[in-house]
Amino acid sequence: EVQLVESGGGLVKPGGSLRLSCAASGFTFSNAWMSWVRQAPGKGLEWVGRIKSKTDGGTTDYAAPVKGRFTISRDDSKNTLYLEMNSLKTEDTAVYYCTWYKGGYFDSWGQGTLVTVSS
Amino acid sequence: EIVLTQSPGTLSLSPGERATLSCRASQSVSSTYLAWYQQKPGLAPRLLIYGASSRATGIPDRFSGSGSGTDFTLTISRLEPEDFAVYYCQQFGGSPLFGQGTKLEIK
């Protein structure tokens, strides 16, 4: 069974930083493309970014609102995905979901972790 | 940039009825990259349909997807109580993009 478990969310001040983690199991993580999707309170879904498998180059892509501030990385030895968030803004407040990104769609989702950016 | 517009915003139906949800793209989208998700309150979204018409693992056959080009449809043939939720369409034509969602509520 595929499991994705996010952690690391919390309250942070504007301009601050936070690192989210996502522990994956139940599939071959090293072969998987992974992605982060977020959802602001009461709003819809927004793609944050994606990382390819190392065999496919390991490159990353980001949505315009987070480009230059957020960094996605992976540790295949630990089956873990990361999202490093810097220069956080109040509009980054959201539940952040870790997802298994397969061929253009989001196949499996974690339960999400809440990030609140507020002074 | 492609925009996905879902309609209606809210759909009020009774259990047993048929639900038809629309997703319209501002320009043609490859069917390969059109998906639908269901989200219940407080839970993560769940993949229902990918490739416009293929059901994801474990999805009941009362859910079906269709369409091509700019117009796509999610149909729920006979609504069960657990189907009342928010539904999102999503396309990948460069960067992944979601529609704004349709809330399916009990009438």
Mutate to test the interface with B, among A97, A101, A105 (most CBs of B within 10 A): A105
- Residues of chain B with C-beta less than 8 angstroms from the C-beta of A72: none
Q: What is d(CA A58, CA A74) in angstroms, rounded to the nearest whole number?
A: 9
For residue B37, list chain A residues with Cβ-Cβ distance below 8 A.
Answer: 45, 106
Calculate mean pLDDT across residues B13-40.
95
State the Cα–Cα distance between residues A63 and B49, nearest whole angstrom: 24
Q: Is A25 exposed, middle or buried (0-12, 13-18, 19+ CB in 10 A)?
A: exposed
pLDDT tens column, B49-104: 999 999 999 999 999 999 999 999 999 999 999 999 999 999 987 789 999 999 99
Nearest-CA distance A104 → chain B (Å): 5
> In the beta sheet, which residues pair with residue B106?
B13
Instruction: Say if residue B46's pLDDT is above 80.
Output: yes
Find the CB nearest B35 among A50, A105, A110.
A105
Which chain B residue is nearest to residue A64, measuring alpha carbons? B95
C-alpha neighbours within 13 Å on the C-beta side of residue A64: 4
- State the CB neighbour count (10 A cutoff) for residue A73: 13
Instruction: Provide the Cα torsion A4, A68, A39, B99; round to 10°.
Output: -110
Provide the sign of the torsion angle of the four alpha carbons B27, B30, B35, B36, taken in this order.
Answer: positive
Tell the residue number behind the tokens 């980054």, with chain if given: A92
- Distance CA(A11)–CA(A118), nearest Å, equals 7
Q: Contact, A71 vs A84, CB < 8 A?
A: yes
The torsion angles phi and psi of A11, rounded to 5 degrees, stand at: -95, 130
Q: Which pLDDT score, from 0 to 100, does residue B31 have?
A: 87
- The pLDDT value recorded for residue B93 is 77
Interface test with chain B among A6, A34, A38, A45, by most B beta carbons within 10 Å: A45
Residue-level pLDDT at A106:
97
- A-chain CB neighbours of B47 within 8 Å are 105-109
Side chain identity, residue A52:
K
Q: How far apart are CA A79 and CA A113, in angstroms?
A: 18
Strands ordered across the beta sheet of A80-85:
A3-7, A18-25, A80-85, A70-75
Residues from A contacting B (CB-CB < 8 Å) are 35, 37, 44-47, 50, 61, 63, 97, 103-112
- Give dist(CA A106, CA B90) in Å, integer: 9
- What local confidence, expressed as pLDDT, does residue A110 receive? 98
Distance from CA of A107 to the nearest CA of B (A): 6
Per-residue pLDDT in tens (0 to 9) along chain A, 119 residues = 999 999 999 999 999 999 999 999 999 999 999 999 999 999 999 999 999 999 999 999 999 999 999 999 999 999 999 999 999 999 999 999 999 999 889 999 999 999 999 99
Whether residue B50 and residue A111 make contact (CB cut-off 8 A), yes or no, is no
- How is residue A33 written in tokens? 């493309």
